[in-house]
Structure 1
Amino acid sequence: MFEVFKKELKELLRDKKTLLFVVALPVVIFPLLFAVMAFISSQAALDADQKVNTYVIINGEYAQEFTDKVFYHKSFELYKGSKTFNTIEELKAGVTAGDIDMGIYLPSDAKQTLNDEKQSKWQVVFNDSKSINFLFERVKELAKEYSDNLQKEQLISFGIDMSAHAALLNPVDVIKVDTADKRENLGEKMGGFLPYLLIPLVLMGATYPAIDLGAGEKERGTLETLLLTPITRTELVLGKFLTLLTTSIASTTITVLSMGCWVALALAFADLDVIKTAFSSLAVTDLLMIFVLLLPLAAIFSSLALAISIYARTFKEAQNYMAPLSMGVFFPIIISILPNMELTAKTAFIPVTNVALAIKDIIKGTVDYTFVGLIFLATALIAGALLAFCVKWFNREDVLFR
């Protein structure tokens, strides 16, 4: 078995494709992709924040103070074209045609409607389909300032002292007292996304080498030679399985170490308090626990990938079979980030989802070690069953020589 393991490992290390997926991608390409994505996102947000938007206000004289604030705001520029806008429909048509970025319709005098004990309803017309859009929030902020001033003036006219305004407008102030510490809060937000990185990498570290160890052997005609050696088929499968398990764990380990180095490098050149708070509280035991949880999961993926590769007749056919496997792994991860999904005695037995939930709780610092034991036991049992199936699969002539 170990002779097969050493032979397969040597062949994989000589294969440039394997080195690319197991080493190069985790060390360089993935961190580079995340950096590019972060840069593009921040640049898009910065551009949206600095963009000057063309606007039109209908009946601006009803709230002159508000109209002046919009006029002098750095993000807005008054429309100077030849078209006229008098109704909501004309504002919609102007935004759709791209003549203006935003239209504001003031239907009535806010001061007069307040005196009449009514509410003036303003309408803001803009295209909200863009992913980053600050228009509405900025208009709301300016409108709130104007509305607060109207409230203050009205209360003063009633003879109410300014010191009583806050209590009168907001008699009950609900204060949040959070029992969760910073680590738990950040872990809830960030811990759910860490499995999106780690678990697919565990799968990827097994699938690409598996294609070569099964279907690749068939195409090269070396599978028959292996079967003629004085080694049992069970030992052959176990040797190939150990090879996939090694590459799977190696890919994940290299990725985690690489990300740690990149995060440390980023912290050395930038003051990122959120990242510092999230990762500084993680102990070595937490990282080891995550690693231990990923071991049986890597065994499950290695067994599945090897069984698929053994069944496939060609390299290309094996690649086609691996795509649904990859998609099937993402669904349990998605389940783990659904609202109110927590690690319980029931969810501890859901494959992949249980590991994703456990990783999130480890990052939060609220993990229950009993559930960790249940998860390890459940995934180990599934891995053992799949490995037994893989051995049985390999012993079938109709599978090996399709």
Structure 2
Amino acid sequence: MWLVFKKELLELLRDRKTLFFMIALPLLLFPLIFGAFGFFASKAVKEAETKVLKYAIVGGEYAKGLSDSLAAASDKFELVEVGADADFKQLIRDESIDFALKVPSNYDQPLLEGGQATLVLVLNDAGLNMVQSRVKELVDSQVENKRRQAFDALALNDFQQTGLLKPVVIEKEDVADSRENWGEKIGGFLPYILFLLCLQGAMYPATDMGAGEKERGTLETLLISPTERHKLVLGKFLTIAFAGVTCALMTILSMAVWGIVLSQGMAIKVVGEFMSAISALDFVLMFLMLAPIAAIFAALLLSLSIYARSFKEAQSYMGSLIMVAILPIVMAMMPGVDLKGGWAWVPITNVALAIKELIKGTMDYVSLFAIFGSTVMIAGALIAFCVYWFNQEKVLFR
């Protein structure tokens, strides 16, 4: 078995495509993708914030202060003269204007006399244009002035004004510590990344060791060797599981290193405090629970690869396996789903929930025995099926 594992691993490491998927892709490509996404996203937001917005206004005479504020901000807004009966929706679709304002007649009246004023903002809010937020900045100053006028008319002091604006304030006292809060936010997302990367990293070597050997005609040579069938399967299985775990760990390591390198000092401090709160035992337990997950994926992938007639057919089978893996992970991120009752026995979901609890620091370590034991049993059953599958001549030579 170990001889087969060594042989498959050496062939794996000689393959440039495998090295790319296992090492280069996690270390370079994923950070570049996330970095490029962040760069273009920030660039798009900056452009939306600095773009000069063309606008039309109806009833501007009722909002002298707002009209003057828009005209004064000539580097942000540009007035387009249109008739009161113009089709604003069509003008916006034609990109003649970015938004239109319909001002009610009571807009400039004192709050105690005119009551609530409804300012209609016509815009296309389907894209990232930030029109509403930029207009709201100007309107908020007008609203604050109207409030001050009303308070002065009522002769209210600052204490009374504050009470009138916010009659009741809820002050929150959170019993959860910083680690638990952060763990709740990112604890469900980390298994999602780890499991999918583990699956992705194992796909290519699994395809090559089953369907690939069929296409190359080397499977027959391997079968007539004196090595027993189950040892051949276990050697291939260990190589695939190793590739999956390596890809997942390399990606997480890469993201952590690049995050520290590119983050500002305060972000490094927050990340450092959070990471230091997680004990070495929790990290070891997370890695140990990742091992049976990798075993489950490796056994499934190898079974599909052995069954497939060609490399292409194996890839089509494995593509559908991604959805099978995603659903249990997504269930672990749903509200109300935790390590209580039957959820502790649901495959893949229970490990995702356990990793989340370990990150939060709220793990009941006794339940790990049931989670780890059930996952190992499922992985063992799938490995046994894989050995059985490999012993079927009708499967090997379809």
TM-score normalized by structure 1? 0.91
Q: Where does residue 24 of structure 1 map in the other structure?
A: 24
C-alpha change, 1:54 and 1:285, in structure 2 (3 Å) is farther
Pairing of 1:81-230 with structure 2 (within 5 A) = 84-87=82-85, 90-112=87-109, 114-116=111-113, 118-130=115-127, 132-230=128-226
The separation in 1 between residues aligned to 2:201 and 2:91, in whole angstroms, is 53
State the AA in 1 paired with 2:107: A
1:183–1:66: structure 2 CA closer, same or farther, 3 Å change rule?
farther
Deviation at 1:281, TM superposition (A): 3.5
Deviations 1:257-280 (A, max 9, x none): 22232223224x665355455545
1:237 to 233, 237, 243: 233
Aligned residues: 397
Does the aligned pair in 2 maintain the 1:348–1:375 contact within 8 Å? yes
- Take 1:307 and 1:115, find their aligned partners in 2: how far apart are those partners? 76
For 1:54, what is the secondary structure of its paired residue? strand
Alpha carbons 2:210, 2:306 under 8 Å: kept: yes
Q: CA deviation at 1:335?
A: 2.4
Q: CA deviation at 1:322?
A: 1.0
Cα-to-partner distance string for 1:97-136 (whole Å, 9 max, x where unaligned): 1011111111222244734463211111111111x33221
Aligned-residue CA RMSD (Å): 2.3
Q: What secondary structure, in the 3-state scheme, does the structure 2 residue paired with 1:124 have? A: strand
CA contact (8 A) 2:299 2:382 kept: yes
Equivalent position to 1:332, from 310, 328, 335: 328
Partners of 1:238 and 1:365 lie apart in 2 by: 36
For residue 111 of structure 2, give the secondary structure of its aligned residue in structure 1.
Answer: helix
- Show the 5 A alignment for 1:366-385: 366-385=362-381
Determine which of 282, 287, 291 is the counterpart of 2:287.
291
In the TM superposition, 1:44-55 aligns within 5 A as 44-55=44-55
Residues 25/128 of structure 1: CA separation in 2 closer, same or farther (3 Å cut): same
Alignment check: 8 A CA contact 2:64 2:108 kept: no
**For residue 272 of structure 1, what is the amino acid of its counterpart?**
A
- Deviation of the 1:158 alpha carbon: 2.6
Seen in structure 2, the aligned counterparts of structure 1 residues 384 and 338 have a Cα distance that, compared at 3 Å, is same
The change in CA–CA distance for 1:356 and 1:49 in structure 2 (over 3 A counts) is farther
Query: Are positions 1:250 and 2:224 aligned together?
Result: no
> Is the 1:332–1:352 contact (alpha carbons within 8 Å) kept by the matching residues of 2?
yes
Aligned CA distance change for structure 1 residues 138 and 358 (closer, same or farther; 3 Å): farther
Asked if the contact 1:52–1:75 (Cα under 8 Å) also holds between the matched residues in 2, the reply is yes
* Structure 2 residue 296 is matched with structure 1 residue 300: yes
Question: Contact conserved, 1:344 with 1:371, CA < 8 A, in 2?
Answer: no
Structure 2 unaligned regions, length at least 5: none
Distance 1:64 1:262, change over 3 A: same
Measured after TM superposition, the shift of residue 162 of structure 1 is: 4.0
Residue type matched to 2:314 in 1? A
Q: TM-score, normalised by structure 2?
A: 0.92
Q: Is the 8 A contact 1:237 1:390 kept in 2?
A: yes
SS in 1 for 2:37: helix
Match of 1:359 among 352, 355, 360: 355
1:390–1:254 distance in 2 versus 1, CA, 3 Å: same
Aligned to 2:267: 272
Q: Residues 247 and 139 (structure 1 numbering): CA distance in 2 closer, same or farther, change over 3 Å?
A: same
* Worse overlay, 290-299 or 242-251: 242-251
How far apart, CA to CA, are the structure 2 residues paired with 1:54 and 1:350?
56
Secondary structure at 1:339's aligned position in 2?
coil
Residues 35, 99 of structure 1: alpha-carbon distance in 2 compared, 3 angstrom cutoff: same
Contact 1:336 1:353 in 2 (8 A): yes
Structure 2 distance, partners of 1:108, 1:374, is 69
Q: Deviations over 1:276-311 (max 9, x none)?
A: 555453443332222111110000000000000110
Secondary structure of the residue that 1:176 maps to in structure 2? Answer: coil
Which whole-Å CA distance do the structure 1 matches of 2:363 and 2:344 have between them?
Answer: 12
1:344 paired to 2:340: yes
Partner Cα separation in structure 2 for residue 319 and residue 306 of structure 1: 12
Q: Please say if residues 58 and 104 of structure 1, whose CA atoms lie closer than 8 Å, have aligned partners that are also in contact.
A: yes
1:69 maps to which residue? 69
Residues 104, 125 of structure 1: 8 Å contact kept: yes
Measured after TM superposition, the shift of residue 50 of structure 1 is: 2.0
Q: Secondary structure at the match of 2:163?
A: helix
